[in-house]
């Protein structure tokens, strides 16, 4: 029997280390993009008890189904309205996703490939980032991985438990982000059946039972969309009325994104220039393994599920007109499995093992440079020196381990990406989020400005303020004379200052906090000497009346 690459004890240690890396990210404040926006939809459910309607700052929200919002609202009931409460359900699904990737690799190859695939996925930049900046994707990729594993087992096994598992996984994926959660696992199953050439396996009643259970499980979301949109043709969403919520979630959502109605012009090279960093530290070697598998596709007898699903998904992303890096997370299960198989083949090819080691050392050094640059731009010189020395000692320690090259390659990669994210979660992101005004201004005004008395100027939004003050956004109407009869607080930004000044309001106490859109880091913000000029400001002022 061939000796496994790592012992079970070492795998346990590596996953424990990655768990320690993930956990601080659960406490990092939410970013004012999709994360804080989604957290506020859940907050509205929690505060109002309305779990049927999806409502954001602009009114009815059509884009995504309910599952993330329901689970987050439930978490608020258990843990309170905190960053941890919002992120914790996604973290649990990430554990499920990693386990499902292990089982998928085991079914398609063997136990060793499954364990290594799970380690690769859990230590990839995208997986780590998605549990910090939480959207739907962590839950979705877990559901896709789980339901694909269940479908593959169901394909060759008639036990009803796999019908139930596959239907539940498919339904949860659909209730998280729409029809993509249904289509991707069946694309994977198609490539698996195409390779096996066992089409008769589909001629069984279990598939009818599967779809019956699927529609049964998604019926709560279908009911909610029907009640919120189909029964209210007068509602206007993006300039249109007569919205068919059921048709949108089954068809229009995906068509709009692929066709570009909701995004900018697509970039055919999107996949190539994004995958390197999103799947770091494995991106470069994974692409090599992908092209190696394509080159030997017909003469090497290996499964088609991962390579076919990976290729088709990335083609859709690359040639669609709505492209975001986190969409690549859906490629992670397939990339992790065929990469693990490729890496394990190095045990029999010393030359490839040396190339793999050199590549991963080079990428680890790039991670070190990236870390040092972040320290240089955002922290003190002492932090730079201490952090740099620790990273170098880590590199020397892993390099000196008495192990074969493939083991060293994987260990140095896991430890370097792990320590980088430990630094990001513990130091960098908390520092960066001080430049996002929502939470700082909430903390400053917590004992003075009651959230129920805070109003926002029209077209001014701060999801992070509303989340951390556990309040719903209220819009200020200058024509509302009743509001001006008692003191209240007004939240507005620098662009709105001239308009507010022209209203002739009597201003009492005020808070002014620097603000920056931290999800779009630009050179003038990164460089300390130009950072003050890149910052905007946000105002929270007490309005005592009108002159």
Q: Alpha-carbon distance 370 to 163, whole Å?
A: 46
CB-based contact 98:121 (threshold 8 Å): yes
Phi, psi (rounded to 5 degrees) for 509: -70, 155
Residue-level pLDDT, tens digit, the chain, 547 residues: 567 888 999 999 999 999 999 999 999 999 988 899 999 999 999 999 999 999 998 889 988 999 999 999 999 999 999 999 999 999 999 999 999 999 999 999 999 999 999 999 999 999 999 999 999 999 999 999 999 999 999 998 767 789 999 999 999 999 999 999 999 999 999 999 999 888 888 888 899 999 999 999 999 999 999 999 999 989 888 778 888 989 888 887 766 665 554 444 556 676 677 888 889 999 999 999 998 888 887 677 889 999 999 999 888 877 766 667 778 899 999 999 999 999 999 888 888 888 998 899 899 888 888 888 888 888 877 777 777 777 787 777 777 776 788 888 999 999 999 989 998 999 899 999 999 999 999 999 999 999 999 999 988 999 999 999 999 999 998 888 788 888 999 999 999 999 999 998 999 999 999 999 988 888 899 888 899 999 999 999 999 988 7
Q: Alpha-carbon distance 3 to 274, whole Å?
A: 36
In order of 122, 382, 472, 502, the CA distances from 332 in angstroms are: 10, 37, 36, 53
CB-based contact 479:520 (threshold 8 Å): no
Beta 505-515 vs 55-56: how paired, if at all?
unpaired
What HEC string does 295-329 produce?
HCCCCCCCCCHHHHHHHHHHHHHHHCCCCCHHHHH
Q: Alpha-carbon distance 111 to 102, whole Å?
A: 8
> Each residue of 405-449: pLDDT tens digit?
888 899 999 999 998 999 899 989 999 999 999 999 999 999 999
436-546 has which fold?
Answer: Translation Initiation Factor IF3 (3.30.110)
User: Look-up: residue for tokens 């170098």?
Assistant: 392
Backbone dihedral region for residue 27 (phi beyond 0: left; psi -120 to 50: alpha; all else: beta):
alpha
User: Look-up: residue for tokens 């620097």?
Assistant: 514
DSSP 451: G
Where are the CATH 3.30.110 domain residues in the chain?
Answer: 436-546
pLDDT at 175: 96
In order of 20, 22, 31, 88, 304, the CA distances from 128 in angstroms are: 12, 7, 15, 14, 27
pLDDT at 263: 45
> Each residue of 256-289: pLDDT tens digit?
665 554 444 556 676 677 888 889 999 999 999 9
pTM score, whole prediction: 0.93
In order of 280, 292, 472, the CA distances from 287 in angstroms are: 11, 8, 46
pLDDT at 382: 72
CB-based contact 187:312 (threshold 8 Å): yes
pLDDT at 384: 72
Cis peptide before 328 (omega within 30 of 0): no
User: Look-up: residue for tokens 């696992």?
Assistant: 185
User: Look-up: residue for tokens 């598998």?
Assistant: 293
Q: Alpha-carbon distance 175 to 181, whole Å?
A: 8
pLDDT at 266: 55
């Amino acid at each position: 029997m061939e000796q496994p690459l790592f012992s079970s004890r070492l795998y346990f240690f590596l996953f424990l280390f990655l768990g320690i890396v993930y956990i601080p990210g659960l406490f990092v404040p939410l970013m004012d993009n999709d994360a804080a926006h989604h957290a506020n939809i859940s907050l509205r459910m929690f505060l109002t008890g309305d779990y049927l309607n999806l409502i954001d700052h602009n009114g009815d929200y059509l884009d995504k189904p309910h599952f993330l919002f329901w689970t987050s609202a439930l978490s608020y009931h258990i843990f309170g309205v905190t960053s941890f409460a919002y992120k914790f359900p996604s973290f649990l699904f990430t554990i499920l996703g990693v386990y499902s990737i292990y089982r998928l690799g085991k079914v398609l190859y063997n136990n060793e490939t499954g364990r290594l695939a799970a380690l690769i996925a859990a230590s990839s930049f995208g997986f780590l980032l998605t549990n910090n900046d939480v959207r739907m994707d962590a839950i979705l990729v877990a559901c896709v991985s789980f339901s694909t594993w269940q479908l593959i087992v169901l394909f060759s096994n008639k036990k009803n438990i796999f019908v139930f598992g596959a239907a539940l996984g498919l339904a949860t994926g659909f209730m998280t982000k729409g029809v993509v959660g249904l289509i991707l696992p069946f694309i994977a199953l198609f490539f698996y059946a195409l390779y096996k050439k066992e089409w008769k396996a589909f001629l069984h009643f279990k598939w009818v039972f599967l779809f019956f259970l699927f529609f049964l499980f998604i019926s709560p979301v279908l009911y909610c969309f029907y009640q919120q949109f189909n029964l209210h043709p007068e509602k206007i969403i993006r300039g249109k009325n007569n919205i068919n919520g059921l048709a949108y979630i089954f068809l229009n959502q995906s068509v709009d994104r692929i066709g570009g109605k909701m995004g900018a012009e697509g970039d055919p090279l999107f996949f190539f220039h994004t995958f390197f960093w999103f799947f770091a530290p494995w991106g470069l070697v994974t692409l090599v393994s992908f092209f190696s598998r394509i080159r030997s596709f017909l003469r090497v007898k290996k499964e088609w599920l991962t390579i076919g699903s990976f290729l088709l998904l990335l083609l859709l992303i690359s040639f669609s007109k709505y492209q975001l890096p986190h969409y690549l997370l859906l490629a992670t299960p397939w990339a992790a499995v065929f990469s693990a198989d490729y890496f394990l083949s190095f045990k029999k090819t010393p030359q490839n093992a040396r190339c793999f080691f050199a590549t991963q050392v080079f990428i680890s050094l790039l991670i070190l440079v990236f870390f040092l640059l972040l320290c240089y731009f955002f922290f003190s010189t002492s932090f730079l020196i201490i952090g740099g020395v620790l990273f170098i000692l880590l590199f020397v320690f892993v390099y000196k381990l008495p192990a074969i090259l493939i083991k060293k390659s994987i260990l140095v990669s896991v430890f370097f990406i792990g320590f980088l994210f430990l630094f990001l979660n513990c130091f960098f992101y908390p520092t960066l989020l001080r430049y996002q005004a929502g939470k700082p201004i909430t903390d400053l005004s917590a004992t003075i400005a009651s959230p129920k008395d805070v109003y926002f100027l029209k077209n001014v939004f701060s999801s992070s303020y509303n989340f951390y003050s556990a309040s719903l956004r209220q819009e200020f109407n200058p024509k509302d004379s009743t509001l001006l009869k008692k003191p209240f607080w007004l939240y507005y930004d620098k662009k709105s200052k001239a308009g507010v000044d022209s209203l002739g309001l009597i201003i009492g106490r005020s808070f002014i906090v620097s603000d920056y859109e931290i999800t779009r880091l630009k050179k003038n913000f990164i460089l300390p000497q130009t950072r003050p000029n890149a910052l905007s400001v946000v105002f929270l002022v007490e309005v005592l009346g009108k002159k």
